[in-house]
Amino acid sequence: MSGQSVSETRDARLAVVVLAAGQGTRMKSAHAKVLHHLGGKPLIRHVLDACAPLGAQHTVVVVGHQAEAVEGACGGYGAGFALQRQQRGTGHAVGVASDAKLRGFTGDVVIVYGDVPLLETATLERLVRRHREQGALLSLLTTMVEDPFGYGRIVRNDAGWLEAIVEERDATAEQKPIREVNPGIYCVQSGFLAEALAGLTPNNAQGELYLTDIVATAVGRGGPLVTEAVDPHEVAGINSRAELARLEAVLRQKVVALHMAAGVTFLDPATAYVDPSVTIGADTVIGPGVHLHGRTTIGRDCTLEGDAYVTDCELADGVRLRPMVVLAEAKIGSGAIIGPFAQLRPGAVLHEDVHIGNFVEVKKSEIGAGTKANHLAYLGDATIGRASNIGAGTITCNYDGFAKHRTVIGDRVQIGSDSQLVAPVTIGDDAYVATGTTVRHDVEPGALAFNPKPDQRRAGWVEGFRKRKAPAKNL
């Protein structure tokens, strides 16, 4: 690529390089920094999500520490990987990516860090657009921070033009107070990038190859250079657990604000935890302490009263979640009421107007419209029809110690309280199961199933019992 001019490479082709090789020692973790989660997914996936709409011909992730795990976290983006075996600085990392995946590439190269999770696609698009409009060799984002410690300072000349970027360890006493800093996000013409990388030298306190040194090279070439200002939150990197928590709060506020702007009510926005991937319909009301994660979708006019944990679920319109419910990988029809203190485990499918009440657990079961299980029941591996009623204390005995078996309950069935349905078993439409019955065999439609348990009495038994026990109680 060496020796190519801007005009020779400005062909609207784009490559993206994501720097994700570092360990992140300040995280004090056995896991690579970019694998830590924010908003329900690894940091690296936030960055790849921001870059994906750019339509780059090549996306290269530079890996190093826990390379295999980082590569695994990048699945689904069509990214290639370049291994940086030794951590010799950001300039070296980009050089590794160029040598491994971008030989012969002509166009522009966007360079981002894998630990900047709030970066937005629109910002990158704006950077690339201005870079191309100005015919720039190099363009970069800058931001203003209250405390610039740890950042490369943006050094400008008297005319306000970018002159250099000076890293923290190399900054002079006059440069350290500069509040305009470099978050490390660039768009660079590929031919110039190759030349500049080849000229990097480790003339700094760390003995590393700094990518920021290519700015001075661009200045020496006479530019042109472009800087684009951006909000500091958007380009904040994560180096510690405290910074991770701080950006989690920023992301939460942003996500909740977007939902409120779209017509969703949050009774206590500060206690809502909503992943960016969650969708919520208008006029839904979210109470305090609600956690919505993964691919969860919530329809219109739903009410989540509070303290709900919902992961990868689908709620139709008008669903009501009462307090203290836990739902995972469940599908809930319109008008259903769940809780309080109920659990829907993976594979639960509830049709419209189903009621699942307090201390009821449903797992891998389909429940027909209008059916109710309002108290203290376990429904596992079951198919239940429409308009049936499951009494308190009912359980489907689905596991024989080796395998799971299904229970089938028809329409308009009445299951009495404290009944045990020993699978595999089928209970036909309109059947009744008497209170306290253990059902081991199929029940035909319209039949009554019961276990004879005649009442027995011992007259005067209580008086004798109390006399026998009283001396022991007084010891």
Establish if 469 belongs to a structural domain.
Answer: no
Burial of residue 138, with CB atoms counted within 10 A of its CB: 0-12 exposed, 13-18 middle, 19 or more buried: buried
Residue 473, pLDDT > 70, answer: no
26 and 141 within one domain: yes
pLDDT of res. 4 = 40
Mean pLDDT of 276-297: 97
Residue 325 lies in a domain: yes
User: Can you say how many angstroms the Cα of residue 191 is from the centroid of all Cα atoms in its chain?
Assistant: 38
- Classify residue 234: in a domain, yes or no: no
> Tell me: the pLDDT tens digits for 416-431?
999 999 999 999 999 9
pLDDT for the residue numbered 111: 98
CA atoms within 13 A on the CB side of 58: 24
pLDDT digits (tens, 9 = 90+) for 149-194: 888 899 998 888 888 888 888 899 999 999 999 999 999 999 999 9
Q: What is the mean pLDDT of the chain?
A: 93
User: For residue 189, what are the domain limits?
Assistant: 6-229
CATH code for the domain of 307: 2.160.10.10
Q: Which two tokens stand for residue 69?
A: 């795990």
How confident is the model over 105-130, as pLDDT tens digits?
A: 999 999 999 999 999 999 999 999 99
CA 360 to mean position of chain CA atoms: 28
Query: Do 208 and 146 lie in a common domain?
Result: yes
Q: Which residues carry out catalysis?
A: 375
Domain boundary among 182, 201, 229: 229
- The predicted-structure confidence for 215-242, as pLDDT tens digits, reads as follows 989 988 887 899 999 999 999 999 999 9
What's the token pair of residue 192?
């110039």
- The last residue of one of the domains, among 229, 260, 279, is 229
Sign, CA torsion 113/117/121/122: negative
Note the pTM of the prediction, 2 decimals. Answer: 0.86
Residue 216: per-residue pLDDT:
87
Separation of alpha carbons 203 and 220, rounded Å: 17
How many structural domains is the chain composed of? Answer: 2
Look at residue 245 and tell me if it is in a domain: yes
Same domain, 115 and 248: no
204 and 258 in a single domain? The answer is no
Q: Distance between CA 22 and CA 41 in Å, rounded?
A: 18
Residue 474 confidence (pLDDT): 63
Among 180, 197, 229, residue at a domain's last position? 229
378 CB-near residues (< 8 Å, 6+ apart): 360, 361, 363, 394, 395, 396
